[in-house]
Amino acid sequence: MAAPVLILDETDSTNAEARRCAEAGEVGPLWIAARRQTAGRGRRGRKWESESGNLASSLLLLTQKSPAEAAQLTFAASLAVADLLDRYVPPALVTIKWPNDVLLDGRKTSGILIESGPAPAFGMTAGGLWLAIGIGVNLSRTPGGTERPATCIAEHLGQGVAAAPSVDEAAQALAETFGVWLDRWMTFGFQPVLDAWIARTPSLYGPCTARLTNETLTGTADGVEADGSLRLKLSDGSLRVISAGDVFFGEAA
């Protein structure tokens, strides 16, 4: 079921707004979207460009799951974005790159950042984590100066689609597609989510470079573990399991 959507004209960061709401006692689920975001953030502290006409949104959710289990929702988020893109562009162009980059014709069109913290106790509510599942999608504009090639929905419209969705339309559509995967995860666990994610992720095998915080590893990607971590075989035959980092498949870092 889709959570309600609150759309703001402007905010610094939808994730920051979700956090403020959580600390004030809001338990969600609630989507917070903005028509303009002035201080968006991506993974590893990077700035996320939020141009007017593109979607910036965050789902505020309270969960009793462990942080490790809650991190599984990054895979659900990427599937939700892929399903959103399918509504407006030829589905054959939509793929996922480990762990949660959603690509359109091989170029990045979305960013996902999950943040969490201990949920404050209010009334009958106590314990657990608040989650801010931040998702940005390039709808009508492609940001410039990005580290990797980027694109937007407007550049790849499918047959019979006149224009990219508005922020309001895309926010509601994302709430719907994410609701499907959230319900599936909560009912059946992570495996169905991971199976669907693998089916959308073609580049899980072959030459791979992983750029981590303190080292860069080069080897051969060999699929994923049960928790979605990437398996990387090094030239000396050893195996490294990568849970976070910048990963490049079939190319130099």
- Tell me whether residue 194 is exposed, middle or buried, using C-beta atoms within 10 angstroms of its C-beta: 0 to 12, 13 to 18, 19 or more: buried
**Would you state the pLDDT for residue 51?**
62
DSSP-assigned beta bridge partners for residue 233: 220, 239
**Would you state the pLDDT for residue 238?**
95
**Would you state the pLDDT for residue 236?**
92
CA 229 to chain centre: 15
**Would you state the pLDDT for residue 119?**
84
pTM recorded for the entire structure: 0.91
Residue ranges of domains in the chain, CATH in brackets: 5-199 (3.30.930.10), 205-249 (2.30.30.100)
**Would you state the pLDDT for residue 244?**
87
> Which ranges of 38-72 does DSSP label H, i.e. alpha helix?
67-70
**Would you state the pLDDT for residue 174?**
98
**Would you state the pLDDT for residue 205?**
94
**Would you state the pLDDT for residue 143?**
87
Beta-carbon-side half-sphere exposure of residue 147 (alpha carbons within 13 Å): 10
Question: Mean pLDDT, consecutive 10-residue segments, the chain of 253 residues?
Answer: 92 94 91 88 55 90 92 97 98 96 96 90 68 96 85 95 95 98 97 97 93 91 96 94 89 51
3-state secondary structure of 63: strand
